[in-house]
């Protein structure tokens, strides 16, 4: 399953039996621990979104927080696997309210691998530590996005940037026409085409995808924009 789903569906995925060396943690336990950590950090979750993979064994969740920035909201993204695909982890994210564009930082804070030492107490401690550190990353991500507005794009520059983005897999070649429409909508919401509107066009293009897909393309997009800035 790769589409969006409900929290109740996520919570009923059974936790596999554990061994001496491997102790999977249910999605519900991760959700509960993070929920307490967010509350203790003085933040509030106002919306929750989830996607499942591998028959429900892998989850990616995003929580919209009550912290606003420049027409958007902070997001906390997290993942959990009960089939050894990856460690428990969280990442920073933002959501532009006007067009529902989601973007994640490509960097995950790895909580813990599912080894025998994982228990509810440790999960709680790791969640608090992770949430406290993610606020700094959210501030950096917000500043980074705003900074993209400084890089104006003339028509020819936009063409070259789009071509390179398709060549590097940042924009699927099969979605070229949809991307142009998405970028045009972003440009209408801003004063002039820029790296910010280009970035917004890509995130708008992906907004109905699974959260796994959005996270994957966010990672590529972040690196691509940074390469442009640093060239």
Q: Are residues 17 and 126 in the same domain?
A: yes
- Ramachandran region, residue 100 (left: φ > 0; alpha: ψ -120 to 50; beta: rest): left
Confidence at residue 187, expressed as pLDDT on a 0 to 100 scale = 87
pLDDT over 70 at 114, yes or no: no
Q: Are residues 75 and 170 in the same domain?
A: no
SS3 content of the chain, % helix, strand, coil (to 5): 50, 25, 30
What average pLDDT score do residues 2-18 get? 88
Q: Are residues 53 and 109 in the same domain?
A: yes
User: How large a percentage of the chain has pLDDT more than 70?
Assistant: 91
SS3 for 152?
Answer: strand
Q: Are residues 118 and 73 in the same domain?
A: yes
227 vs 93, higher pLDDT: 227
pLDDT digits (tens, 9 = 90+) for 157-198: 999 999 999 999 999 999 999 999 999 988 888 778 999 999
Domain count of the fold of the chain: 2
Q: Please provide residue 171's backbone torsions phi and psi, each rounded to the nearest 5 degrees.
A: -120, 120
What are 10's strand-pairing partners? none
Which contiguous run of DSSP H or E holds residue 83? none
pLDDT digits (tens, 9 = 90+) for 43-79: 999 999 999 999 999 999 999 999 877 767 888 989 9
Q: Are residues 153 and 125 in the same domain?
A: no
| Range list of H helices, the chain | 7-11, 27-40, 120-147, 155-167, 176-188, 195-205, 211-230
Q: Are residues 88 and 167 in the same domain?
A: no
Displacement of CA 31 from its chain's centroid (Å): 16
What are 92's strand-pairing partners? 76
User: Mean pLDDT across the chain, nearest whole number?
Assistant: 87
- Domain end call among 80, 104, 139: 139
Angle at 89 between CA 119 and CA 61, to 5 degrees: 105
Q: How many Å apart are CA 146 and CA 76, to the nearest integer? A: 19
- Domain end call among 139, 156, 176: 139
Confidence at residue 166, expressed as pLDDT on a 0 to 100 scale = 97
Q: Are residues 181 and 207 in the same domain?
A: yes
- Domain end call among 139, 156, 174: 139
Confidence at residue 1, expressed as pLDDT on a 0 to 100 scale = 39
Confidence at residue 195, expressed as pLDDT on a 0 to 100 scale = 96
What average pLDDT score do residues 133-156 get? 89
Q: Are residues 218 and 135 in the same domain?
A: no
pLDDT over 70 at 19, yes or no: yes
Q: Are residues 80 and 176 in the same domain?
A: no
Confidence at residue 117, expressed as pLDDT on a 0 to 100 scale = 61
Q: Which of 30, 68, 78, 26 is nearest to 46 (CA)?
A: 68
pLDDT over 70 at 99, yes or no: no
Q: Which domain holds residue 19?
A: 4-139
Confidence at residue 89, expressed as pLDDT on a 0 to 100 scale = 87
Q: Are residues 13 and 119 in the same domain?
A: yes
pTM of the prediction? 0.83
Cβ atoms within 10 Å of 42's Cβ, excluding its own: 9
What tokens appear for 218 in the block? Answer: 């966010």
Confidence at residue 112, expressed as pLDDT on a 0 to 100 scale = 66
Confidence at residue 212, expressed as pLDDT on a 0 to 100 scale = 85
Q: Are residues 167 and 127 in the same domain?
A: no
Q: Are residues 46 and 124 in the same domain?
A: yes
């Amino acid at each position: 399953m790769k589409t969006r789903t409900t929290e109740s569906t996520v919570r009923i995925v059974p936790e596999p039996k554990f061994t001496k060396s491997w102790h999977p943690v249910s999605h519900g336990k991760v959700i509960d621990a993070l929920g307490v950590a967010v509350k203790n950090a003085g933040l509030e979750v106002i919306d929750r979104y989830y996607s499942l993979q591998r028959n429900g064994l892998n989850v990616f969740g995003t929580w919209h927080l009550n912290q606003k920035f420049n027409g958007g909201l902070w997001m906390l993204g997290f993942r959990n696997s009960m089939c050894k695909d990856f460690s428990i982890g969280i990442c920073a994210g933002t959501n532009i309210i006007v067009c529902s564009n989601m973007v994640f930082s490509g960097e995950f804070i790895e909580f813990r691998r599912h080894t025998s030492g994982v228990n509810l107490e440790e999960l709680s401690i790791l969640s608090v530590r992770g949430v406290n550190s993610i606020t700094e990353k959210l501030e950096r991500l917000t500043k980074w996005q705003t900074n993209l507005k400084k890089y104006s794009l003339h028509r020819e520059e936009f063409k070259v940037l789009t071509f390179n983005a398709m060549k590097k897999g940042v924009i699927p070649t099969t979605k070229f026409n949809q991307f142009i429409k998405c970028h045009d909508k972003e440009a209408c919401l801003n004063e002039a085409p820029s790296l910010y509107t280009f970035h917004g066009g890509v995130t708008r293009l992906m907004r109905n995808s699974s959260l796994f897909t959005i996270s994957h393309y966010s990672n590529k997009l972040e690196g691509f924009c940074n390469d442009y800035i640093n060239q």
